[in-house]
Amino acid sequence: TRSEKLASPGGAAAQAAQILAAGLGGLAFHLLGLPAAWLSGAVLGAVLWGLTGFAPRPIPRPLADAAMLLAGATMGAGVTPEA
């Protein structure tokens, strides 16, 4: 059933939790004032979530592509002549 799919290790709820863990990692690094906080913090948050054993199968390709586009645009916006 649909509810079983959402509750399964590869379901939407598990993927949302993985995205939340990445976001919390980015927020933590941002609050600490670390450089590239949203990128490096999100990576660390996702890795730590994966180490818990609750991580789902990979994020669906369209969502991964959108995340890469957003990450690239964010990094590109931070490049200035002064940097």
For residue range 21-41, list pLDDT tens digits in order: 999 999 999 999 988 888 889
Tokens of 44: 């660390």
N-terminal to C-terminal alpha carbon distance within the chain: 52
For residue range 33-80, list pLDDT tens digits in order: 988 888 889 999 989 998 888 766 777 889 889 988 988 887 787 777
Q: CA dihedral in degrees (28, 44, 11, 67; nearest 10)?
A: 80
Q: Looking at residues 78-83, what average pLDDT do you find?
A: 72
Q: Within 10 A of 34 (CB to CB), how many other CB atoms are there?
A: 12
Q: Which residues of 36-51 are buried (b: 16+ CB within 10 A; e: fewer)?
A: ebbbebbebbbeebee
Q: Which pLDDT does position 50 carry in this prediction?
A: 86
Task: Specify the length of the chain in residues.
Answer: 83
0.75 surpassed by pTM:
no
